[in-house]
Amino acid sequence: MSSSYPIQIDATVHDPALQKAVYTATGRLMDMRRNAVALVPQFEELRNHANAVKRHTIGHLDHYLELVERNVEAHGGEVVFAQDSTEVADFILTLAKQKGAKLFVKSKSMTTEEIHLNSRLEAHQLEAVETDLGEYILQLADERPYHIIAPALHYTRHDVARIFEKKLGRTETEPSDQAMIARAVLRQKFLDADIGITGANFVIADSGAVVVVENEGNARLTHSAPKIHIAIAGIEKIIPRAQDLAVFLALLGRSATGQAMSVYTSFVSGPRRTGEVDGPDEFYLILLDNGRTKVLADEAKRQSLYCIRCGACLNHCPVYRKIGGHNYPWIYSGPIGAILTPQFHGIDHDPWLPFASSLCGACAEVCPVKIDIPRVLLELRRDVIESKTAAGANKLERMVFRMWAWAMKRPHMYERLGKMAAIGAPRGDAKTGWIKDLPGFLAPGPVAGWLQERDLPRPAAHSFRELWRERQKKKGPAT
Amino acid sequence: MPRRVSLFVTCIVDQLFPPVGLAIADVLERKGCEVEFLEAQTCCAQPAFNSGYRDEAREVARHFIETFRDAEYVIAASGSCCTMVSHHYEDLFAGDAHMLKEAHRLSARTFEFSAFLTDILNVDDFGARYDGVVTYHDSCHALRELGIKNGPRRLLSKVRGLTLKEMPAAEECCGFGGTFSVKFASVSGAMARTKIDSIESTGAGAVVSIDSSCLMQLRGALLRAGSEIKTLHLAEVLASR
Amino acid sequence: MNSASRDAILGRVREALHRKAGDVIEDAPPVRLDVPELGVPARIAGFRERFEALNGKVHVVSSRDGARQAITEILNGRAAVASNARFLEECGIGWLSSVRTGLTDREELKAACAEAPVGITSAQYAIASTGTLAMLSSAEEPRLVSLLPPAHIAVIPASRILVNLDELFEKLPLPADVTSALVFISGPSRTADIEQILVRGVHGPGEIHVVIVEGC
């Protein structure tokens, strides 16, 4: 297991163009959320309600999974339970073979990113086309999403122009032109596609329906034009009733992009019915585990599954805003990624991740379903340390904390150590008194880390307790 | 009516910024509080807790609880250390009914300094004078866990000669975050520089906060950037005449 | 594969939650719907304000004939495909020579919508507080008419304007009982995926009109 963080983080932090792009884009999303939320006086109530609904649903997930299954079937659809990416791929490949399907259109779905669906389909000579503009650009560039809702947030129009030139032979640099180029290419794909694959923002238990939220219309085309619609959703996406959407949609759009409603919200329950002119003939809902039941098993961290993927925690996270999306080890980035990744992949995989936070709490403050992300991070930190201790991998750090605890329980020892530091610490700068630099042998890891970015205060010549004693002496005996 | 208050100066103030502790004592005494300092206090245990070392944190937290067992009011010189006691001790002692009760008892008596002034003493004018323009940095834990937002600003508004100029990103983290500041030094440093840009945009001569750890981060980064902007704990402003 | 996976997943869920098959279910938190009182004129005004803020166009007319005239003006010579909605029929859409309607074959409809510059539909409801159309897919109202053409015109009686989304879910507690697809449309198709610059009409219609017919 590796404790050190990806060195690429330092490069990102020192890339002025990228810093500006990410900081500006996330800042704009923050402003849009703030303005939209300000118009809803009961927003806090809605968040509390959504949290309660999610807690209830996740707490009775077995019941709701069975309810979804029953109601999807009642409307002529089929539910497929998949434990992992292989089972999803196997199902889709078998179906494609059976139907003679060659071309898939896909709308944006983090869940399908999770299981690398496109590359699995392509490995079998099937074409899967991402149709959300940002996702389409990323597919051409062979990159993963930079942000949960704004996947190509790190690209400028010139980056897009370079990608389009290489892949499509087009050199336009105006975003409006670029969007229309994508429209023309993708429109034909929609008309020709055999199967449409969408994700699901919500799965509605009492209706056996999936809800897909978007702005472009590509998701509508994906589930309306081809003859087969496959929706893929994590098992945690369920909410009990269609009526719950009034609250969840009010929260999602505002939290994500400051929209009271996204442009298109589709509530799809099964294939087209008798008499309908268009719409798919077949509807499949794949309910994916892929590690979710593991997360469910931990009572304190279970709330990680409440997430509705609005991306607000990313926009408000000062760490995400510095390190961007691609330094996170998995497709889920930002605070939510920092808590989902270790729980899905195992704590030993990226043990640095739960520590990459100042615990400022901005994420929890804006989370529409009130996931206490800092608290989950603290739990994960404990898990990392327990795991490392069991493996004997943190002997030095553990010893330091043991010694620290030993001294902190002994005020005299604590004071004596403080005094030694005050006497022994190197001199500070003549003008400010703070230490600007130290030779390596005087600067153990943490001190060097501090000095890399900042001046360091010298311990005070006289601690507060010493000054307090003086002060009390001067005041005379207590009255 | 004089109140007996017990200073929880925090290890950072004790070892690095002792004038802050004295200023707090002065301000409290000015309003008739009887101020005590229990010498058995060391640290609240947050460094170990935030680093994942729960056992070590628990030992130190137990020492803290024992130290302040009989205090009437515990006044913390830091919002962050205050939340360790008031919000996180219960996580540490979840499996120990007796200690959990003690933790809750202590939590109810523990106040961040400015919140004690505005919410318990109900006083906002301390006859202070500070000539200059300052800006206020919302420390994350004080803001988001304790809900402290307007209190410190109200206190500053009563200081003669002082002009408070809000910065655009007042609620954005300074990048300290305890060991985060050294484990992820480059990120922490970049966060501090963003914060400093925000501070500088106000033209203020000083940045005020209720957390000495944020101020250590900001001062360290300001000095590194060659800036003349000062850092002040709110207590230092309120104590000045 | 499926039944084994199903049982494995449900088994793991129950184990994680310490539940057994058939265990009692606590009631879900009560549904939260909040529908303020609002008269029809205020609904029309609210819808207009929101929908136009989203860059849609609203035309209020006082009769079905007025609706037909409004459509003629909006079309301004463009050809159109219309859905089979009864309300459109009542407005006499079929009399307009440039409008093709009555399509019931999937491939024919798809081809017509892919070519047509404008699609004309009605809508089951409109929602004032968010500037939203609620389209229920049916034999009368196919999906692609409001989706494939670059412009969309929806014609609705004023009485179908609801206050907010909550009222819609009050009226339609189980949308799946009446349709296989309920689609909410709030303004023209848009993207901001490149440098957060707003571009309209990326996949769906970039131009959208709502004709509200008062008194019906």
Q: Look at residue C139 and tell me whether its pLDDT is greater than 80.
A: yes
Per-position DSSP letters for chain C, written without gaps between them: -HHHHHHHHHHHHHHHHT--TT---PPPPPP--------HHHHHHHHHHHHHHTT-EEEEESSHHHHHHHHHHHHTT--EEE---HHHHHTTGGG-TTEE-----HHHHHHHHHH-SEEEE--SEEETTTTEEEEE-SSSS-SGGGTSSSEEEEEEEGGGEESSHHHHHHH-S-GGGT-SEEEEE-SS-EE-TTTT--EE-SSS-SEEEEEEETT-
Rounded to whole angstroms, how far apart are CA atoms A371 and A43?
A: 15
How far is the C-alpha of C11 from the C-alpha of C17, rounded, in Å? 10
Q: C88 with C120: CB under 8 angstroms? A: yes
Q: Count of CB atoms within 10 A of residue A399's CB?
A: 10
Quote the pLDDT of residue A1.
38
Residue A347 has a pLDDT of 93
Q: Which of residues 186-215 of C touch A (CB under 8 A)?
A: 186-197, 199, 201-205
Q: How far is C103 from chain A (nearest CA, A)?
A: 8
Q: Based on the number of CB atoms within 10 Å of its own CB, is C178 exposed (0-12), middle (13-18) or buried (19 or more)?
A: middle
Q: How many other β-carbons are positioned within 10 Å of the β-carbon of residue B98?
A: 8
Q: Do B182 and A358 touch (CB under 8 A)?
A: no
Q: Which chain C residue has its CA at the smallest distance from A36's CA?
A: C130
**Residue C120 token pair:** 């004309």
Give A386's contacts in chain B (Cβ within 8 Å): 52
Q: For residue A434, give the chain B residue with the closest CA.
A: B220
Contact B224 A445 (CB under 8 A): no
Cα distance from C120 to chain A (closest Cα, Å)? 16
pLDDT in tens, C33-63: 999 999 999 999 999 999 999 999 999 999 9
Contacts of C17 in chain A (CB under 8 A): 59-62, 296
Residue A440: its pLDDT value, please? 80
Type of residue numbered B190: A
- Which of C10, C147, C203 is the best substitution to test chain A (most A C-beta atoms within 10 A)? C203
> Which chain B residues touch A367 with a CB distance below 8 Å?
none
- Residue C2's pLDDT is 74
For A136, name the nearest residue in chain C, comparing CA atoms only: C193
Burial of B147 (0-12, 13-18, 19+ CB in 10 A): exposed
Using a CB-CB cut-off of 8 Å, the residues of chain A touching C199 are 175-176, 179-180
Cα angle for residues A269, A275, A279 (degrees, 5° grid) = 45
Whether the CB-CB separation of A175 and C191 falls below 8 Å is answered with no
Q: How far apart are CA C184 and CA C207, in angstroms?
A: 16
Interval C57-76: pLDDT, tens: 999 999 999 999 999 999 99
Chain A contact set for B40 (CB, 8 A): 411
Sheet holding C151-157, edge to edge: C57-61, C207-213, C151-157, C118-121, C80-82, C99-100
Q: Are strands B129-136 and B73-76 parallel, antiparallel or unpaired?
A: unpaired
**Residues in A touching C136 (Cβ below 8 Å):** none
**Element holding B161 (H helix, E strand):** strand B160-164
**pLDDT (tens place) for every residue of chain B, 241 residues total:** 568 999 999 999 999 999 999 999 999 999 999 999 999 999 999 999 999 999 999 999 999 999 999 999 999 999 999 999 999 999 999 999 999 999 999 999 999 999 999 999 999 999 999 999 999 999 999 999 999 999 999 999 999 999 999 999 999 999 999 999 999 999 999 999 999 999 999 999 999 999 999 999 999 999 999 999 999 999 999 999 8
The whole-angstrom distance between C96's CA and the closest CA on chain A is 22
pLDDT, one tens digit for every residue, chain A (479 residues): 345 788 899 999 999 999 999 999 999 999 999 999 999 999 999 999 999 999 999 999 999 999 999 999 999 999 999 999 999 999 999 999 999 999 999 999 999 999 999 999 999 999 999 999 999 999 999 999 999 999 999 999 999 999 999 999 999 999 999 999 999 999 999 999 999 999 999 999 999 999 999 999 999 999 999 999 999 999 999 999 999 999 999 999 999 999 999 999 999 999 999 999 999 999 999 999 999 999 999 999 999 999 999 999 999 999 999 999 999 999 999 999 999 999 999 999 999 999 999 999 999 999 999 999 999 999 999 999 999 999 999 999 999 999 999 999 999 999 999 999 999 999 999 999 999 999 887 788 899 999 999 999 999 999 999 999 999 999 876 54
Indicate if ipTM > 0.90. Answer: yes
pLDDT of residue A478: 55
CA distance A133 to chain C (A): 6
Reduce the DSSP state of residue A194 to 3 states and report it.
coil
This prediction's pTM: 0.96
CB < 8 Å to A279, chain C? 137, 142-143, 180-181
Alpha helices in A115-197 (DSSP H): 117-122, 133-141, 157-168, 175-192
What are A146's strand-pairing partners?
Answer: none
Chain A CA closest to residue C127 = A261
Touch C-B: 3+ C-beta pairs under 8 A? no
What is the C-alpha to C-alpha distance for residues C43 and C130, in angstroms, rounded to an integer? Answer: 11
